[in-house]
């Protein structure tokens, strides 16, 4: 694949959300051409994310994180990469350093490039999640717990 090849959309799958250790995470998978979904790999990526996330805050806490985020598991050409984002201070999107697993050991996640936020396919999901957070969570459309339920049901 050329690094400047024409853009082609990739398959995006919505994975079941997970709750663990006080965190609520929406999850997505992206499949590059010739790659297929592996539940073993997605489970390993989520387990690693839970190890790396800071302690969860609460939705009512305006000074910390809200214990809500989303993870992308990208079955890319050269590796499995998994950016993990979470919401804090009401309107700020934070992230942990990118996780990356080589194809020869796709469940062994180490660190990716620290300066990388994500590729264009991953940013499409970030755009959706940012818009959903703004339209649902930063609205006056009901109590925060009901807004959170709507946000968790909104998918790219």
Distance (Å, rounded) from C-alpha 94 to C-alpha 97? 10
pLDDT in tens, 60-93: 888 999 999 999 999 999 999 999 999 999 999 9
Confidence of residue 117 (pLDDT cuts 50, 70, 90): confident
Q: Residue 1 pLDDT more than 70? A: no
Residue with more model confidence, 12 or 140: 12
Q: What backbone phi and psi angles, to 5 degrees, belong to 22?
A: 85, 0
Q: Residue 136 pLDDT more than 80? A: yes
Q: Which residue in 80, 10, 3 sits closest to 42, CA to CA?
A: 80
CATH number of 11-117: 3.30.160
pLDDT in tens, 87-102: 999 999 999 999 999 9
Residues 27-61: b if buried by 16+ CB within 10 A, e if exposed = bbbbbeeebeebeebbebbbebbbeebeebbebee
* Total residue count of the chain as it appears in this document: 156
pLDDT in tens, 22-74: 999 999 999 999 999 999 999 999 999 999 999 999 998 889 999 999 999 99
pTM confidence score: 0.94
Residue 156: its pLDDT value, please?
83
Where does residue 15 rank: exposed (0-12), middle (13-18), buried (19+ CB within 10 A)?
Answer: buried
Residue 43: its pLDDT value, please?
98
Q: Residue 115 pLDDT more than 90? A: no
């Amino acid at each position: 694949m050329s690094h400047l090849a024409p853009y082609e959309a990739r398959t995006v799958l919505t994975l079941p959300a997970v709750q663990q250790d006080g965190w609520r995470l929406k999850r997505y998978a992206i499949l590059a051409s010739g790659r297929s979904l592996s539940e073993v790999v997605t489970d390993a990526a989520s387990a690693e994310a839970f190890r790396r996330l800071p302690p969860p805050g609460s939705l009512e806490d305006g000074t910390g994180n809200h214990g809500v985020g989303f993870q992308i598991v990208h079955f890319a050409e050269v590796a499995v990469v998994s950016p993990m984002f979470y919401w804090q201070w009401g309107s700020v999107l934070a992230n942990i350093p990118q996780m990356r697993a080589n194809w020869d050991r796709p469940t062994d996640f180490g660190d990716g490039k620290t300066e990388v936020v994500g590729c264009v396919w991953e940013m499409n999901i970030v755009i959706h999640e940012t818009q959903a957070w703004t339209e649902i969570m930063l609205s006056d459309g009901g109590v925060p717990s009901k807004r959170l339920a709507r946000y968790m049901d909104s998918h790219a």
